[in-house]
């Protein structure tokens, strides 16, 4: 790993957004649940085993203590974390504007504190969307996952120290490459202590590449879409934000990263860390591209990272991601069951609560194994019979034996979008119907459709009737057409928002509820006038290796501006000793590593640190040249010309309405 990549980076993850919680003045408030919503929620409540309170016992087992509301103050007026706005969930009866099953999960996710799992194994839960697991070594602490925000991680460790001996942190383990598992690392250790060798940082193989890939190359789009998945701008409340399914919400603090000092490269690798034996089972391509599970033989504890939690997880996340392999995911659980099932008294994960008792551990593993296998195989069975994604989503139902299990309910992923994900993985976006091969783009399609339907007024009129009948899925879809035909049609925007809102009130998945309610909010009030945090930022760019950096330049190249241009630039990095030829022709930017071209228009010699300084806007190319940090041979204007052809991405693009012309 290069020196550059070892640098500490402050990373704004796909799931971080600095947005106000309160509604701005003049915004349209949420409405009440409609009769059809009340009925749907009441009907669902009758089908589920609410009398089974085992999860609440499990979630409270080993409770040691907590701080009021788990409050973690921030630098500004807005706290990094607080459970206070979720006090409304203390009412045992679900609010009529919340799916009762989601309400129950939201109550479980509101429990916070320090918990003893077993001798020498502790967890802090409810201080961020994820858990911090703390293992007591002979002389130091081993911390598995450091939450999303460093302020939250610091508070979690302080809570632990209030109740347990103050052993220093000696090891940090990242279970996987998602920011809610590493972002708080600076809250429990420092770059200096890691550099000095006082603290080691362990991660699964491919960790840094996975972090960079997910947060930069398509990072601007996922940053915007994550606002829909997590809903941080929704005010907490029965008609607003309730939960994410996987945890209460995302902390709004400082996201950091210290690159691993060592990676686990072989599955079932065994290490002894400060007297603690750990068996690492690699699980790449399951919930994250780089992920590992951990077994602690001395404590008979199995940590399933994020592969076995108390909900159905995502084969595809609606914030946007590469599709995950349900078959592989199931196989890893099966492997863990075979290897550790009969030797585990407790199962923990990096979200949700533990389950104690060997038979119960096995039972949970089996159900989760079968859930992912079921989704994968049954979706494939139906697609092989020619069913289309939407038909598969509509047709599939979990078997009754899993349907009645709280731990397999779709609070984060859903059967419907996961079934579509399997189709996408194997067959892609095209459904093989040539009518769908090259349809008109959304705006033209919407204009024609609305016109054929007799014009906007006629469509809205009929849709009002369907709204009254509770046909919200159709009304949302029809109003989407009218809005795309004419985004200034106020009546269509409001009726569309009303339909999305009712869908949100009915949704069992926290993620779907958030998406619907954010959509409603934006139809009513427009795209929020905020910059929106972008994970593809100067700090994450700094973490990229130079190949990935050039790849990202290629993604930013504006083809129109590059039309007809050709350019060859030699790059030579004085610190990493790497050389590249960057080539522009046919509006495509490519590179070759380890070479310099004889016919280059310009040759740039600089340190990667200098390139990072320019990226971080601490300096500019001209200033760096004046300071002697960059040497350019040949035509210096070529570099300016290249930079002038690059687009800068903005997070807050339109989602529920067309882009302005
Ligand atoms: Zn997570």
| pLDDT for 7 | 34
pLDDT in tens, 397-452: 999 999 999 999 999 999 999 999 999 999 999 999 999 999 999 999 999 999 99
| pLDDT for 409 | 98
Query: What's the mean pLDDT in 29-37?
Result: 96
Longest dimension (CA), the chain: 77
Q: How far is the CA of 638 from the centre of ligand 1 (A)?
A: 44
Q: How far apart are CA 244 and CA 511, in angstroms?
A: 6
Q: How far is the CA of 182 from the centre of ligand 1 (A)?
A: 10
| pLDDT for 291 | 98
pLDDT at 133 over 70: yes
Average pLDDT, the chain: 93
Q: How far is the CA of 573 from the centre of ligand 1 (A)?
A: 36
| pLDDT for 288 | 96
CB burial of residue 43 (10 Å; 0-12, 13-18, 19+)? exposed
| pLDDT for 537 | 77
Residue 605 CA to chain centroid, in angstroms?
38
Q: How far is the CA of 309 from the centre of ligand 1 (A)?
A: 10
Q: How far is the CA of 17 from the centre of ligand 1 (A)?
A: 16
Q: Which residue did the predictor score with more confidence, 622 or 277?
A: 277
pLDDT in tens, 14-32: 333 333 334 455 688 999 9
Is 101 in contact with 110 (CB distance < 8 Å)?
Answer: no
| pLDDT for 26 | 65
Query: What's the mean pLDDT in 179-202?
Result: 96
pLDDT in tens, 354-402: 999 999 999 999 999 999 999 999 999 999 999 999 999 999 999 999 9
Q: How far apart are CA 67 and CA 651, in angstroms?
A: 36
pLDDT at 161 over 50: yes
DSSP lists the bridge partners of residue 241 as 236
Q: How far is the CA of 516 from the centre of ligand 1 (A)?
A: 22
pLDDT at 259 over 70: yes
pLDDT confidence of 11, banded at 50, 70, 90? very low
| pLDDT for 10 | 33
Residue percentage of the chain with pLDDT more than 70: 96
Query: What's the mean pLDDT in 609-616?
Result: 83
Q: How far is the CA of 510 from the centre of ligand 1 (A)?
A: 15
Q: How far is the CA of 630 from the centre of ligand 1 (A)?
A: 41
Q: How far is the CA of 149 from the centre of ligand 1 (A)?
A: 13
Q: Which of 511, 16, 535 is nearest to 252 (CA)?
A: 16
Query: What's the mean pLDDT in 223-242?
Result: 96
Is 133 in contact with 348 (CB distance < 8 Å)?
Answer: yes
pLDDT at 57 over 60: yes
Is 14 in contact with 216 (CB distance < 8 Å)?
Answer: no
Q: How far is the CA of 292 from the centre of ligand 1 (A)?
A: 13
Q: How far is the CA of 65 from the centre of ligand 1 (A)?
A: 23
Query: Tokens 């210096």 belong to which residue?
Result: 636
Is 419 in contact with 396 (CB distance < 8 Å)?
Answer: yes
Tokens coding 32: 């009440």
Is 422 in contact with 376 (CB distance < 8 Å)?
Answer: yes
| pLDDT for 22 | 42
Residues 6+ apart with CB under 8 A from 574: 605, 606, 607
């Amino acid at each position: 790993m290069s020196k550059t990549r070892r640098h500490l980076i402050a990373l704004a993850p796909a799931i971080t957004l600095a947005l106000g919680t309160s509604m701005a003045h003049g915004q349209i408030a949420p409405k009440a649940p409609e009769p059809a919503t009340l009925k749907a929620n009441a009907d669902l409540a009758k089908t589920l085993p609410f009398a089974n309170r085992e999860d609440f016992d499990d979630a409270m087992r080993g409770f040691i203590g907590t701080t009021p509301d788990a409050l973690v103050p921030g630098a500004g007026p807005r706290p990094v974390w607080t459970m206070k706005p979720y006090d409304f969930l203390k009412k045992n009866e679900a609010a009529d504007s919340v799916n009762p099953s989601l309400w129950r999960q939201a109550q479980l996710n509101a429990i916070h504190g320090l918990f003893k799992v077993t001798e020498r194994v502790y967890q802090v839960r409810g201080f961020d969307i994820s858990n911090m697991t703390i293992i007591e070594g002979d002389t130091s602490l081993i911390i598995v996952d450091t939450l999303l925000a460093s302020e939250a991680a610091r508070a979690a460790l302080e809570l632990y120290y209030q109740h347990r001996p103050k052993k220093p942190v000696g090891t940090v383990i990242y279970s996987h490459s998602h920011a809610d598992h590493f972002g708080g690392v600076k809250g429990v250790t420092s770059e200096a202590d890691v550099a000095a060798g006082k603290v080691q940082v362990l991660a699964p193989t491919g960790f840094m590449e996975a972090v960079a890939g997910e947060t930069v190359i398509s990072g601007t789009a996922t940053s915007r879409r994550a606002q829909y998945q997590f809903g941080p701008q929704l005010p907490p409340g029965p008609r607003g934000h309730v939960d994410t399914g996987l945890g209460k919400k995302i902390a709004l603090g400082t996201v950091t990263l210290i690159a691993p000092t060592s990676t686990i490269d072989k599955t079932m690798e065994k290490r002894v860390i400060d007297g603690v034996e750990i068996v690492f089972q690699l699980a790449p391509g399951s919930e994250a591209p780089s992920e590992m599970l951990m077994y602690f033989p001395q404590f008979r504890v199995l940590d399933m990272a994020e592969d076995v939690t108390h909900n159905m997880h995502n084969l595809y996340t609606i914030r946007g991601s590469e599709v995950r392999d349900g078959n592989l995911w199931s196989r890893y659980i099966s492997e863990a069951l075979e290897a550790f099932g009969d030797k585990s008294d407790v199962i923990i994960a990096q979200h949700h609560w533990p389950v104690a008792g060997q038979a119960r551990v096995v039972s949970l593993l089996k159900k989760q194994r079968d859930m992912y296998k079921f989704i994968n195989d049954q979706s494939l069975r139906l697609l092989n019979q020619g069913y289309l994604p939407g038909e598969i989503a509509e047709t599939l139902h979990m078997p009754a034996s899993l349907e009645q299990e709280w731990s397999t309910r779709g609070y984060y992923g859903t059967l419907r979008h996961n079934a579509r994900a399997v189709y996408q993985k194997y067959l892609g976006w095209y459904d093989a119907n040539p009518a769908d091969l090259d349809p008109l783009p959304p705006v033209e399609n919407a204009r024609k459709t609305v016109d054929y339907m007799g014009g906007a007024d006629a469509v809205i009129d009929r849709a009002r009737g369907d709204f009254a009948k509770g046909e919200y899925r159709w009304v949302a879809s029809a109003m989407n057409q009218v809005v795309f035909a004419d985004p200034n049609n106020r009546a269509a925007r409001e009726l569309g928002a009303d339909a999305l809102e009712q869908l949100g009130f009915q949704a069992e998945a926290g993620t779907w509820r958030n998406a619907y309610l954010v959509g409603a909010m934006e139809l009513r009030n427009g795209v929020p006038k905020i910059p929106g945090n972008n994970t593809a930022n100067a700090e994450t760019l700094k973490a990229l290796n130079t190949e990935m950096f050039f790849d990202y330049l290629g993604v930013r190249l504006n083809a129109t501006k590059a039309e007809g241009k050709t350019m060859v630039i030699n790059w030579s990095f004085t610190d990493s000793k790497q050389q590249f030829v960057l080539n522009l022709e046919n509006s495509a930017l490519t590179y070759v590593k380890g070479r310099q071209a004889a016919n280059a228009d310009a040759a740039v010699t600089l340190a990667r640190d200098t390139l990072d300084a320019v990226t971080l806007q601490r300096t500019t190319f001209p200033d760096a040249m004046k300071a002697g940090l960059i040497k350019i041979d040949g035509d210096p204007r070529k570099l300016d010309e290249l930079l002038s052809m690059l687009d800068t991405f903005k997070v807050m693009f339109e989602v529920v309405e067309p882009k302005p012309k």
